[in-house]
Copies of this chain bind each other. A is one copy, B any other.
Amino acid sequence: MRMPIDAVYRRMLADLHTAGFTDLVPAHFAVLRYPGPDGRRPSDLAADVGMSKQAMNYLLGQLEGLGYLVRRDDPDDGRSKRVSMTDRGLAVRDTIRASVATIETDLEQELGPQRFAQLRDALTQLNACTTLGGSTDPGPHAG
């Protein structure tokens, strides 16, 4: 189970690199994932991924430095900020979506339409079920 998902991540990163976004590293997927950070607050993004605000802000700082997004003040709340994707950031988002689409097509071709649908449904069900339960909270442990 571990190998296929690792392969998917490698493939996505490879697609991004060949598309010219060579400055992205795997850690950035914590930000650049569905539904994307555009218009959202750093704290909320951190909560989504299950890591600290500081760690998320560290990644956001990197992506801002690379020109993928900017953090601007929230007009409605003086404390908070809002992430706003640049054109480059939107291009990355589109590239990721295209990559995922082609990967799914490849998987469907490998497994056949029926088995692919079964796999998708099974994983979706596991996502929602409580059997594997457990919080996304990383808990107190360094590393």
Contacts and interface: CB of A to CB of B under 8 A. Distances in A.
A102 to B, nearest CB: 11
Interface stretch (A54-62, A77-85, A88-96, A106-114): A106-114
B126 A111 contact: yes
A127 interface: yes
Chief secondary structure at chain A's binding surface: helix
B4 A123 contact: yes
B2 A5 contact: yes
A22 B122 CA distance: 32
Interface of A: 1-5, 7-8, 10-11, 14, 25-27, 103, 106-107, 109-111, 115-116, 118-119, 121-123, 125-127, 129, 131-134, 141, 143
